[in-house]
Amino acid sequence: MATNSLIAKQAVSYLKIILAIAGASFLLVVLASFTISILFSDEIDAQIKKEINRKLEAKVDYNSLSLSLLSNFPDVTLKLEKFLVVGKKEFARDTLLQMKEFDCAVNLWDVL
C-alpha cells in the first residue's frame, strides 16, 4: 500500500510540473503577442499596407490598425478603422470600398 501512495504522490508531482510548464508557456505566448503588437505596430502596419497595395490594382488605406489575440482566441484578429479602397488607372476617381471598420480573424498557426 505504501508503494501505491508513493506512486500517486509522484504522479501528482509530475502533473503539477507539466501544468506549470504548460501555463508558463501559454502566458509567454500571450505576453509575447502583446509585446510584439506594441513594439512593432508601425512595422506591421507598413508591411500590411505595402503587401495589400502590391497585390491589388487599387490603393488601400486605413487610419488605424490593431491586432488582438484575445478577442477571438485562438485566432489573431486584425482590425482596420476607416478602411478605404480607391481604384488606380482608369478607376482612379472611383471609391471601390469604404468601411468604417474592417475586422478579420485568422488562425494563429497560419500567421506563424
Per-residue pLDDT tens over the stretch 44-103: 888 888 888 888 888 888 998 887 777 777 788 888 899 999 988 888 888 888 999 988
5-46 residue pLDDT tens:
777 788 888 899 999 999 999 888 778 777 877 787 788 888
pLDDT of residue 111: 66
DSSP H helical ranges for the chain: 2-39, 41-55, 108-111
Q: How far apart are CA 51 and CA 101, in angstroms?
A: 19
Distance from the Cα of residue 18 to its chain's centroid: 26
Residue 57 DSSP symbol: S
Written as nine digits, the cell of 68 is: 488582438
End-to-end CA distance of the chain: 50
